[in-house]
Each structure stands twice: as structure tokens, then as C-alpha cells.
Amino acid sequence: MLCLSPCAPPPHLHLRLLAPAATAKNARRATTMCLGMPRTPEERRARMRQRLPKFQDSSSAAAPPALKVPAPTAPVAAPAPEPVAAPASRTTAERRGSLREMRRVWWVCGVGYWVQGFRCFPWLALNFHLTRGLGLSPAALQLVQNAGNLPLVAKPLFGVLSDAVYIGRAHRLPYISIGALLQLIAWGALAIIPVTGDTFPTQMACILIGNLGASVTEVVSDAIVTEFSRTQKAGVLQSYAFIALAAGSLLGNLSGGYVLLRTQEPKIMFTAFSVLLGFQLALSLSTKETLPSSQENSRSRLVKSSLTSNLRKQFSNLMMAISDDRIFQPLTWIMTSFAVVPILSGTMFCFQTQYLKLDPSVIGLSKVVGQLMVLSLTVLYNRYLKRIPLRRLITGVQIMYALGVLSDLVLVKQINLMFGIPNEIHVLCFSALAEAIAQFKVLPFSVLLSSLCPPGCEGSLFAFFTSGLVFSAILSGIFGVGLSTLIGVSSLDYSSLPLGILLQSLAALLPLGWISFVPEKWTADDKVVIKR
């Protein structure tokens, strides 16, 4: 009985409690019983929990019925709580909130592409502003156009920054806000500065700042498209971006020519575009960033590291991605295909407005037709053309581009008048044909790079891609200025312009000589969709 008591003394005291007449056998039995007791309080409590039900049963059998204490079974019989329903409802709410925020991010991205396409609205006014207000020659206008694009060459830097440097725990939307703010400052200043020759350096600085902001916005928008494109079908998001860009260009050219014809005041168009940039800035500031990379966490690693190590790591990742032949060779081809063709855009603009005396509305409508072509080609690509092997598709597009350049030769030689086609109709239908084909040519390469881009390098790689295209366009414009100067084209003499257009068309066929850099059998359907 003592050994069963929870308050039993230690085992060495039990021998002293035995009777003196106890035999050795009884002593050994008592010693065995006492040594079998638990030595620690935890062991004693565990032993008592095991034997307590038996003790209660024996006690209840001897006690009167009125004094019987029921076993505490109520807590055991209580139903267990249902913890499943609440988390499920919270998960659904979180998913809905995440989907809402994702849609807002896409609104910001789509508006960004639309605004960048709408930049043709103030740029159309700026061309007239520079030629009529400041009296620039065709060569000088083309130099200003290409020099103003120099900030776009720095896109890789902005891409690396957006990949590696977080602003307020976000690394995409804050940069869109910065780009919109820079553009707002630039175009707002152009709307205030008086039109005199003394203010040309200030106006040139505003042009550079405006293009700097545009380059930041474009880089980040391309990075967002690339991140989301891994979870979607091939070419869908790139087509969405191209459609938004083309829709903005369509409306910008359509309204720009009309407003300029009615008001003859470019500053009104600068002010209107500044208001639109203010709306884009407010939208980007009020949107929370929700991207596929947010859950991966590249973010947590970057935030904990130093800025220098982040930039070094991101630059190393970019160099590693570019050194891959699957990326390097297509990039080389698309960049050189633009660089080797001398562009005569400034010369053709002056020829149409000063020699043929065409209205600004006609020039704007011709750009509208060009953007409609881009939209049509984008839809065709998304439905049918993306199934064609890339090398075969690009070969056909490049030949069409060379033929589109020759359409300007028909206008300069006035061959269209021999068939009874007015200059206005020809400019509307064919003036922007080559430009539209060149713009569409970038789409298949965007889809290709999206499928090959390493995770975490989206902004850097696409910034390098777009800056390479801009640098190629600048080289192309410089070659165009050199060509027009070499053959003697000026604002008073356009007799050598047909020769320049013919040389331009022949140069458009040169990239077919290294078409082997383009993947032969790759199609957009080869892209693997990653499930989120």
C-alpha cells in the first residue's frame, strides 16, 4: 500500500518501516516493491494517471450511490473546433485581393505602353516646332531626332537597377513613377519655353530628359511583361503590349494631325500630353506591386544584401545571359538588321511637308494607317504566324521591309500621279508601310527572348535588347544623314533622293546574308508555360 501511495518516501526508508520479525524473504519482497516505484515526480504522476481509473472504479463500488463522483468526461466529449473553414475563406479572400492587385498592375503596364505609343502626339508637333519655329534643315532635324534618343541607349543601366534595387519593397512600379515624372517635367517645360533660337539648348535638354523618362518606363514595362509571360501562353502578353502601344500611336497620330491643323500651336499639344502623364503618374503611385517574382524571393535576398553586391550580381547575370549563343546570335541579327539600313526619315518628312506641301493631318493619318498595319500583323502573328519557324518568318518580313522602302521611290518619282493616285492617298496608304513592318519585326524576337530569359534578369536583358535597338536606330539615322549629304540632298534640291531610297532598299536586304544567326526551327509554340 505504501508503494502505491503518491506520497511514498524514498525507497531506502521502506526497510525501516517493516516489522522487526520480517523475514529476509519479506524484506527482499518489500525492497523489490519499493524499488519498482517511480523515482522522479514526472514518473510518479504518469504512474498515477495510469492507475487512477482503477482506483476510482474500486472507490465507486464501495461508496454510496449519492456520493459517487462522475468521471470528468465533459471535456473529452466536447466537439473539436473546425479550423478548416476559416483558413479556406481567408485564402479565397487573399487570392481575390491578389488578383485585383495583379489587374491593377496590368492597368499600369497597359497605360504605360499606351502612353508611350501616344508620344507620337507631341513628337509630331515637335517636328513642326523645330522646322517652322526654329528653321532647322532636314539634316539638322534628323540629327536632333537621333541625338534626342541617346538616353534610350542607357536602358541596360535602368534594367539592372530595377532588377537589383528595391524602392519601398518594390522594384518595378516606383521606376514607372520616376519615368512618368521626368516626362511630365520635360514636356511641361517645353509648353512654357518661348520659341526662339536662344532657347534651343534648353529645349534640347528637355527632349533628352523626356526620352530619359520614357526609357525608364519602357524598360520596366518590358520587365513586367516578361515576368508575367512565363505563366501565360506564348506571345499573348507581348501581343497585348504591342496592341496597347499601337492603339496609343493610332490615336496620337489621328488626333495630333487634326489638332495641329486646327490650332497651328504645338504648345497646346505639349500641355495636353503633360496632363496625360500626370494621370499615369497618379495611377502608378496608387497601385501596389504584385508580381510573380514577389513570392520567389529574390526579393528577400536582394534586400538583405548591399547595393554594390546587388548591382554586381545583376550585371554578372546579364553578362551570363548575353553570352549564351541562343540569346547572343538573335540579338546580334536584329540589331545589325536595323543598323545597316540608312534611314531618311527627316529628309522624307521635309520632302512631304515643304516640297509636296502636304497638310499635317495627312502626315498624322499616314501614321494611323501604319499603326493599323501593326495591329493587324500582331493579331495575325498571335493567331497564325507564330506557328511558322522563326527564320522563315523573319526572312519574309525582311523582304517585305525592303519592298516597303521602295514605296517611297514611287512618291518621289511621282509615279503614282501617272496612275491617277493623288499624293495624299499614296502617303496615307504606303508612307508608313516600311516603318510598320520594322516595328512588327521586333515582336517575334521579344517572344523568343521571353522564353529564354533567366529568372531575375528580365529587366536587364530586355533593357539591353531595347537599348541595342535604339543604338542601332541612331546609327541608322547617322548613316542616313551621311547618305543624304553624300548624294547632295537638301531642302532646296531633292533630285538625288530617288538614288538614296534605292540604296536604302538594297541595304535592307543585306541582313539576309547572316540570317543563320536566327534559330531555324524555333516557333513560339515551343515556349513552356510555367504554372503559378
pLDDT of 416-466, one tens digit each?
888 888 888 888 888 888 888 998 999 899 888 888 888 777 767 877 888
Model confidence at 96, in pLDDT bands (50, 70, 90)?
A: low
Q: State the pLDDT at residue 199.
A: 78
Burial environment of residue 288 by CB neighbours within 10 A (0 to 12, 13 to 18, 19 or more): middle
CA distance 522 to 529: 16
Neighbours of 136 (CB within 10 A): 20
Q: State the pLDDT at residue 101.
A: 62
pLDDT of 122-141, one tens digit each?
888 888 788 777 777 777 77
Neighbours of 255 (CB within 10 A): 17
SS (H, E, C) 5-37: CCCCCCHHHCHHHCCCCCCHHHHHHHHHHHHCC
Q: State the pLDDT at residue 293.
A: 53
- Cα–Cα–Cα angle for 305, 171, 289, rounded to 5 degrees: 130
The residue assigned the cell 481567408 is: 90
Cβ-based neighbours of 122, under 8 Å, separated by 6 or more: 187, 190, 256, 266, 269, 270, 273
Q: State the pLDDT at residue 300.
A: 46
Fold of the CATH domain 98-288: Growth Hormone; Chain: A; (1.20.1250)
**Domain ranges (residues) in the chain:** 98-288, 312-531
Cβ-based neighbours of 309, under 8 Å, separated by 6 or more: none
Mean pLDDT across the chain, nearest whole number?
A: 76
pLDDT of 362-380, one tens digit each?
877 888 888 788 888 988 9
> How far is CA 257 from each of CA 133, 358, 362, 422, 479, rounded to the nearest angstrom?
17, 11, 7, 19, 29
- 228 in Cβ contact with 458 (< 8 Å): no
Among the four given CATH numbers 3.40.50.150, 3.40.50.1220, 1.10.132.20, 1.20.1250.20, the one describing domain 312-531: 1.20.1250.20
Model confidence at 334, in pLDDT bands (50, 70, 90)?
A: very high
Over 50: is that where the pLDDT of 489 sits?
Answer: yes
Over 60: is that where the pLDDT of 57 sits?
Answer: no
Q: State the pLDDT at residue 184.
A: 94
pTM: 0.62
312-531 and 98-288 share a CATH fold:
yes
- 208 in Cβ contact with 75 (< 8 Å): no
Side-chain-side CA neighbours of 160 within 13 Å: the count stands at: 20
- 432 in Cβ contact with 532 (< 8 Å): no
Over 70: is that where the pLDDT of 120 sits?
Answer: yes
Q: Give residue 445's Cα distance to chain centre.
A: 15
Over 90: is that where the pLDDT of 181 sits?
Answer: yes
**Residue in 203, 117, 240, 143 with CA at minimum distance from that of residue 484:** 143
